[in-house]
Amino acid sequence: MRRVRVLFAIGMIGTIGTMGWFVAATSAIAAESVTAPSASPASDARSDERTRMVEEQIAARGVRDPRVLAAMRRVPRHAFVPERWRGDAYADHPLPIGEAQTISQPYIVALMTELAAVAPGARVLEVGTGSGYQAAVLAELGADVYSVEIVEPLARQARARLDRLGYGRVHTRHGDGYQGWLEAAPFAAIVVTAAPPAVPPALLAQLAPGGRLVIPVGSGEQELQVHERTADGIRIRRVTPVRFVPMTGGRS
């Protein structure tokens, strides 16, 4: 219970002060209101819990993009967590997914998705497939998703789960995300869901012009950052303190 409160506090502190102008920047994209194809049913036995999760944990903390909120309402998060944690699937904290890894707190998934500002049809790389949940949320926005996972059993399980749930269009690969996914680059957005001590150069190199890299950085204290490729170079925004599992793999 204590851990839950700490994570909540981290989210709230980060939201104050730093997010204001960014929300303004993304609202233009949100206003397009293009409907992404939905792979999952709009309602199921737990859709009321998802609606509450979106209102109380996500919208209440300042995530505004209606497409992101709709995607979070659609993806059946309970189908991405192990059986024994299903009851907690819509609670305000991360959950174990096996292999000492976790699925992120719903708010953090929504925040990172909003920061990625994904337009329908955009090509997006995720590093750290884990359960496949963040990849599914990105797919619901109509993105062409490429996701890399370094732990083989997790990569295999996520692939099977994504297929079962109708996210067959998400591309997955077992490998080291430090190197990105060269054959599919460049990407309009890259979302990294494990924390490296410093930003991997290959990921910056695979960002399209105008593209955004959303990444937790740090080996002790971590900070969520957005690195945007502008005409003048890389612009860095520091968003909020976070706590992610460390990124493993090669550091070259």
Nearer to ligand SAH, 14 or 133 (CB): 133
- Residues interacting with ligand SAH, by CB under 6 A? 97, 101-104, 127-128, 130-131, 133-134, 148-151, 154, 176-178, 193-194, 245, 247-249
Rounded to the nearest whole angstrom, what is the least distance from the CB of residue 60 to ligand SAH in the complex? 21
Rounded to the nearest whole angstrom, what is the least distance from the CB of residue 176 to ligand SAH in the complex? 5
Cα–Cα–Cα angle for 102, 100, 222, rounded to 5 degrees = 60
Nearer to ligand SAH, 69 or 150 (CB): 150
47 contacts 73 by C-beta, under 8 angstroms: yes
Rounded to the nearest whole angstrom, what is the least distance from the CB of residue 165 to ligand SAH in the complex? 13
Structure tokens at 204: 């910056």
122 contacts 144 by C-beta, under 8 angstroms: yes
Q: Is 43 a catalytic residue?
A: no
Rounded to the nearest whole angstrom, what is the least distance from the CB of residue 108 to ligand SAH in the complex? 10
Please tell me which residue in 40, 104, 131, 147 is annotated as part of the active site: 104
Structure tokens at 82: 């192990």
Buried b / exposed e along 180-196 (16+ C-beta atoms within 10 A):
bbeebbbbbbbbbbbbb
Nearer to ligand SAH, 15 or 129 (CB): 129
Nearer to ligand SAH, 27 or 202 (CB): 202
Measured CA to CA, the distance from residue 44 to residue 171 in angstroms comes to 26
C-alpha pair distances (Å), 71 with each of 37, 47, 113, 206: 10, 12, 10, 26
**Active-site residues: which are they?**
104
